[in-house]
Amino acid sequence: MRESWHDFFAESPDVLKTERCRQTIVPVRDLVIGGDEFVTMAGPCSVETEAQLLATAHHVRRSGARILRGGAFKPRSSPYAFQGLGLEGLKLLAHARQQTGLAIVTEVMSEDDVPMVAEYADILQIGSRNMENFTLLEAAARSGRPILLKRGMVATIADFLRSAQCILANGNSNVILCERGIRTFETAMRNTFDVAAIALLKQISHLPVIADPSHAAGRRELVPALARVAVAAQADGLLVEVHPDPDRAWSDGDQTLDFPGFDAMMTSLEPYIALRATRLRGFEPARDELLEAVG
């Protein structure tokens, strides 16, 4: 007999769909993630200056983003690269929220910083490099803020779900899973976008799933195509890097869209988002079929 997903992911039972829990809806200020609305989170890789952040926030809001992203604490592969503005960056994010009404998602890298970041952020981002930092996951979970959990770059889906399970086990059910590309033998792109993971997670887990096409691609010209694929795979939202002048960005400029590029991507997504809404209403597998698949 075919192994059920419940058996395969036996170490993460609470993240799987059940009769009782088919979809987690994560409330964030005036919106929800995991509901009918497709939610775009956009903004710079790093918070750099007030002018950079405010210009980006106003622009992405006008173009349909609902959440502002921006790193104040940056996990960098090189110890000599820009490490983020820290508390000053958090204050700039809060200022941008107050100016635009956008909710804020930003990364927390250390359990010591959780209380400070939770004071300013609406969603705590756990970065790829920290997906299995269980003391951080525990502290972040206990802050009570929704958690955006990024898949580790060498994490299997089972590893990913175990980390989500750890957050749930620490009393926080507001978890958003984020596929951001994984390491494979392919080196032409920064990572390999695992769209199958999105489709699978949407079938088996009740947690919202979003895609980060920027870190997956590593090249801005690929970002819109990966975003469209994510919508087609039933993702609940996107996390995208946008900057007023990407070639001068202090981090991840190559994968960052400029304002016209972001607008073009948002326009190109419209028919896919409309189709997604129809699919959600009419073509989702019947409830019993789905529960049987979960096991």
Instruction: Return residues touching ligand PEP (CB under 6 A).
Output: 45, 71, 75, 127-129, 150, 180, 215
Given a contact cutoff of 8 angstroms between Cβ atoms, the answer to whether 245 and 259 are in contact is: no
Which of Mn ion, ligand PEP, none lies near 150, with the C-beta cut-off 5 to 8 A by kind? Answer: ligand PEP
Parallel, antiparallel or unpaired: strands 103-107 and 67-69? parallel
Which of Mn ion, ligand PEP, none lies near 127, with the C-beta cut-off 5 to 8 A by kind? Answer: ligand PEP
**Residue 216: CB minimum distance to ligand PEP, A:** 9
Convert residues 95-134 into a mask of x (bound to Mn ion by CB under 5 A) and - (unbound). ----------------------------------------
252 binds Mn ion (CB under 5 A): yes
Given a contact cutoff of 8 angstroms between Cβ atoms, the answer to whether 243 and 56 are in contact is: yes
Number of residue whose CB is nearest Mn ion: 45
**Residue 152: CB minimum distance to ligand PEP, A:** 9
48 binds Mn ion (CB under 5 A): no
Given a contact cutoff of 8 angstroms between Cβ atoms, the answer to whether 5 and 157 are in contact is: no
45 binds Mn ion (CB under 5 A): yes
Q: Which residues on adjacent β-strands are paired with residue 205?
A: 16
Determine the residue type at 206.
Answer: H
**Residue 252: CB minimum distance to Mn ion, A:** 4
Number of residue whose CB is nearest ligand PEP: 127
Q: Which stretch binds Mn ion (CB under 5 A): 21-29, 37-45, 200-208, 271-279?
A: 37-45
Which of Mn ion, ligand PEP, none lies near 75, with the C-beta cut-off 5 to 8 A by kind? Answer: ligand PEP
Given a contact cutoff of 8 angstroms between Cβ atoms, the answer to whether 210 and 176 are in contact is: yes
Kindly give, in sequence order, each residue whose CB lies less than 8 Å from that of residue 120, ignoring residues fewer than 6 positions away: 90, 91, 93, 94, 104, 106
| Cα 235 → chain centroid | 10
Q: How many CB atoms lie within 10 A of CB 208?
A: 26
